[in-house]
Amino acid sequence: MTVTRFAPSPTGRLHVGNLRTALHNWLYARRHGGRFWLRIDDTDAARSTEAFVDAIRQDLDWLGLDREGEVRQSARTALYEARFAALVEQGRVYPCYETPEELELKRKIQLGRGLPPVYDRAALALDAAARAGLEAQGVRPHWRFRLDHDRPIVWDDLIRGPQRFDPARISDPVIRRADGSWLYLLPSVIDDIDLGITHVVRGEDHVSNTAVQVQMFEALGAAPPAFAHEALLVGGEGKLSKRLGSADADHFRAAGIEPVALAAKLARIGTSLPVEPVATLAPLIARFDLAGFGRAPARFDETELARLNAQCLHLMPFEQVADRLPPGMDARGWAAVRPNLDTLADADSWWAVVTGPVACPADPADADYLRRALALIPALDWAGAPWAGLTAALKAETGRTGRALFLPLRRALTGQDHGPDMAALLPLIGPAQAQARLEAALG
């Protein structure tokens, strides 16, 4: 059984990069008939809030990412303590007493000598008496995971291919602060083991975290999940953008972006597959394949997203949007206005063209032409194709063609120079409204 997870910290809103990570883990699970978990990484009690937890759930719901379950790290401390104690017993976790200032000085000295700033493991030289003395002075230790230097860290990344790290060139990572609070690395590994996570899709900025976590899985007697580290998003201008980093789901909702359009964009950028409009997530699931992901940064352009949004709307059936349409708009009305929408909010303005009122005084040069059109209104086949009948009769009588034939009618009947197909609009306007609008145009 394929099992993936999305593990945000509730210390802020999900930005577009987070949404992409969540989507890819969800797509991978659904593509392989598996399960998708939400894990709330709320060990940072000072910064985590329930408002952000709720917002995370709402954003995932908005994107259509259903879950098999949810866990919270704040409710799992007993499990972490037990695994932590076992690692201390094995000698894989050890206490350290340096202050941040002392560690920074060590780093500066190493860098000044042209050496990598790797922790020197000085704390391992302390005997029990030395540790007791420090603690008697009120010094509380932070805790590090002791990496095994005897063999390289290797894994076959599902996007980046074979990975190899020399553990001797990596600092033993701090896993617990002096106040007893947890850092990300070890609880994440414990949770992945406990939840049976088989695949982890995340950003390439986590590659070095994965290197140390591979050894943590092994120290806890578990095989690591398969990892896939994807290239990070860049803005439309081809570089990292603060604006992109702050673009959350509310930003896209306010811009009228449909969740399926955002998903269509995020599912495909940075891959060998084209970004294509879809009406549902099903086509994205069917073709999701990590093998098609590239190593180059994925370019996210909001102008392109806006065009994609319109294309997705043009594919959506009435039933999918019915509860968000203006009052009175039925399937015929949706079919008429849908090809002209950029966002669903545009449906309101086009529906107002149907329901009226509309006022557009006629050009005096077109007055006789519109009077003839007004005379034809009662005789049109309103159950069939009234626009085709009206324009055919006017063309035969006046010899007008093209814009001269169509534009004065469109202006008088809709108040617009362009818009939805008049063949679809005129039956919705109806004979009474059509007659009233032509009379109003003629004054």
Phi/psi-derived region of residue 198, left when phi > 0, alpha when psi is between -120 and 50, beta in every other case:
alpha
List all residues 6 or more positions away from 429 whose beta carbon is below 8 Å from its beta carbon: 354, 356, 413, 414, 437
CB 175 within 8 A of CB 144: yes
Q: Is the dihedral of CA 372, 378, 381, 383 positive or negative?
A: positive
List all residues 6 or more positions away from 393 whose beta carbon is below 8 Å from its beta carbon: 376
Q: Which phi and psi angles does 360 have, rounded to 5°?
A: -150, 95
Is 108 labeled as ligand-binding? Answer: no
Pick out the residues of the known binding site for ATP: 242
Pick out the residues of the known binding site: 242
